[in-house]
Structures are given as structure tokens and as C-alpha cells.
Amino acid sequence: MSEYGYHYTHARHRAWRQKVLKRAGYLCEECKRYGRLDKNGNPVAAVTAHHIQHLEDRPDLAYDVNNGQALCLACHNKKHPEKGGDHNRR
């Protein structure tokens, strides 16, 4: 039943993301490292969990919390220049 499989994978991914965010205290790890603050002077909240080792390379680490990094949207976009959205080339 592929339907069940999809939901199961989705639930696992959500649980993984929650663990990554929780470990980071729900703050963006990149912004925290560089001491960046949001426009209100608060630490930048993380909204997503990024796979440090890409899934295509290391599917075995897909649900490894140590392979997760909590990021805000701006930092996450920088991690994925291939997705567009950030036209700054480095």
C-alpha cells in the first residue's frame, strides 16, 4: 500500500524535523553561529530542518538527528542555490 508508505515516511520526517528543531532550541543554527538577530533584535527562529548530507548522497542518514540542522528560511534557501530563489552566486 503506497498510500500508507507515504504517510509513514511523512510522519517519520516530521518527527525527525521536530527533534532537530528542538535540539536547536527552535533557533536558526546558522544565524546563531554568526550572531545574527532578527529585525526585533531577537535570535532568529528556525522554521525548517536541513539535511547536512544530502539525501541523494546519504539516504541512510535521512532520519539521523545528527544530520539535521535547524535553519530559518533565508539560511535554508542559501543551502539550496539549485532551487533558485537566491540569485547570489558564490
- Min dist. Cβ of residue 87 to Zn ion (A): 18
| Per CB under 5 A, 29 contacts Zn ion | no
Under the criterion CB under 5 A, does residue 28 sit at the interface with Zn ion? yes
Residue 6, burial from CB neighbour count under 10 angstroms (0-12, 13-18, 19+): exposed
Stretch that binds Zn ion, among 8-16, 20-28, 62-70, 81-89 (CB under 5 A): 20-28
Region binding Zn ion by CB under 5 A among candidate stretches 6-14, 15-23, 25-33, 60-68: 25-33
Alpha helices, DSSP H, located in the chain: 2-23, 29-34, 73-79
- Cα separation, 67 vs 23, in Å, equals 12
CA distance 70 to 75: 9
Number of chain residues interacting with Zn ion (CB under 5 A): 7
30 lines the binding site for Zn ion (CB under 5 A)? yes
Applying CB under 5 A, the residues found at the interface with Zn ion are 28, 30-31, 44, 50, 72, 75
